[in-house]
Amino acid sequence: MHRLSLAVFSAAMLVCTLSAPAQRVGDPAPNFTGTDSHGQTHKLSEYRGKYVVLEWTNSDCPFTKKHYASGNMQSLQKEWTSKGVIWLTVLSSAPGNDGYKTASEENAYLQQVHAAPTAVLLDPSGGIGHEYAAKTTPDMYVIDPSGKLIYSGAIDDRHTTELADVQGAKNYVSAALAESLAGQPVAVSYTRPYGCSVKYQGAD
């Protein structure tokens, strides 16, 4: 009986570690290790003590294009990294799928659009994406210095591909960072992300 309970207990623990539970706002953000487009390794836990923004991207997706063609994403990246925020763009498109890029292709693209994140993590296996249950491009996450997820969802409140809609949109990421930096609770901490689906392996 004892042995059985122990076996069941360990089996339960194994199931817990294998399944990737979706991330909940207010919970600790799951740690991950990712390799960026320059071959450097990034661990979320290394950035404990700093704000971290995760941005899911796909340069072929018209919703992502809206924010890069308008310069909106780049200016957000510049604004917040200059304030000490770590900005990690994550590319979870699988090889062969829309938006997939090798490291050198990605670097060329970053230069072309003048993107300014801290780093772009290449996640062709979708490991980081599944860990966070990232749904769309863009899908945005904000993690506070204690490692807690404080925002998850859309980049702003205009669910369109119109460049003009960047003007006057309420940007949820900036709002969450500003509120949290001011010591206030995040007013809108969860929204439905909008955009193209993340082009995970097996999603075609």
Q: Which of 57, 59, 97, 180 binds other proteins (CB under 8 A)?
A: 97
56 binds other proteins (CB under 8 A): no
- Out of 37, 57, 59, 152, the only residue in the binding site for other proteins (CB under 8 A) is 152
Residue in 30, 62, 71, 145 binding other proteins, rule: CB under 8 A: 62
Contact 116, 74 (CB under 8 A): yes
Confirm if 166 and 72 have CB atoms less than 8 A apart.
Answer: yes
Classify residue 165 by burial, with Cβ atoms within 10 Å: 0-12, 13-18, 19+: middle
160 binds other proteins, rule: CB under 8 A: yes
The region of 70-78, 104-112, 164-172, 191-199 touching other proteins under the rule CB under 8 A is: 191-199
Half-sphere exposure of 57 (CA within 13 A, CB side): 27
| Positions in 73-92 near other proteins (CB under 8 A) | none
State which residue, 41 or 203, has the beta carbon closest to other proteins. 203
Q: Quick one: tokens of 4?
A: 């059985």
Rounded to the nearest whole angstrom, what is the least distance from the CB of residue 159 to other proteins in the complex? 5
Measure Cα distances from 125 to 58, 97, 122, 184 in Å: 15, 12, 9, 37
Whether the CB-CB separation of 125 and 200 falls below 8 Å is answered with no
List contacts with other proteins (CB under 8 A).
2, 4-6, 8-9, 11-12, 21-25, 60-63, 65, 97-98, 130, 133, 135-136, 152, 159-161, 190-192, 194-204
